[in-house]
Amino acid sequence: NAGVMQNPRHLVRRRGQEARLRCSPVKGHSHVYWYRQLPEEGLKFMVYLQKENIIDESGMPKERFSAEFPKEGPSILRIQQVVRGDSAAYFCASYRDGNTEAFFGQGTRLTVV
Amino acid sequence: AQKITQTQPGMFVQEKEAVTLDCTYDTSDQSYGLFWYKQPSSGEMIFLIYQGSYDEQNATEGRYSLNFQKARKSANLVISASQLGDSAMYFCAMREADNTDKLIFGTGTRLQVFP
């Protein structure tokens, strides 16, 4: 895990609140992916971004979820009006063109109470 | 659609023994990549090994090797000389060759190494 930073590591939100998850990719990596892991399951792709562009959001729920990767700053996954079913671990991964390996962050564990 | 199947929900192995974790995949693409990741109880995803579909040799990384059988569409992970610290969830994944390079994951195998 060469430097993908996610914060916070743990996030607790009440139903109806907003959750903001941040991901700073490895320096020099221009591709960012967000994955969601429900308890006892594998990771599921949500969205793929490059700087200032959403390339593929086919895995992201159409409502309440949004993602961005601005020119400056971290990538943000935003969940509005959270519900209990949003409780999961959210992982960010980055990689550079030509690399085979995607580096994962340590994940943000969201708990909705 | 591409799919990864891991049929072993849990595996046990004694310390110092070898263990094989199964992974089969389904794709119609000729070019693809296969990965194994380890997820310990602390939760992070640790990259272990990569195999490209055109690689003729099986990938190896220290105690990890990937038994790649292209005709059978299998990419089993072999861990030699198991250690207690190998106890974790192990995920097989495939990189889609659709210009997005996103990963498709299997459901994982929980490996427990006992003394």
CB contact under 8 A, A93 and B103: yes
User: What dihedral angle (degrees, nearest 10) is formed by the CA atoms of B6, B8, B12, B15?
Assistant: -20
More confident residue, B100 or B67: B67
Give the gap in angstroms from C-alpha A27 to the nearest C-alpha of chain B: 18
pLDDT at position B36: 96
Residue A93 pLDDT more than 80? yes
Give the gap in angstroms from C-alpha B97 to the nearest C-alpha of chain A: 12
CB contact under 8 A, A42 and B107: yes
More confident residue, B59 or A96: B59
- Residues in B touching A26 (Cβ below 8 Å): none
Residue B84 pLDDT more than 80? yes
pLDDT at position A99: 66
The two structure tokens encoding residue A28: 């020099």
Integer Cα distance of B12 and A45 in angstroms = 29
CB contact under 8 A, A100 and B107: no
Integer Cα distance of B34 and A33 in angstroms = 17
Of the candidate ranges A43-47, A86-90, B100-104, the one whose mean pLDDT is the lowest:
B100-104
Cβ-based burial of B20 (10 A; exposed 0-12, middle 13-18, buried ≥19): middle
Per-residue pLDDT averaged across A29-37, rounded? 93
Integer Cα distance of B56 and B41 in angstroms = 34
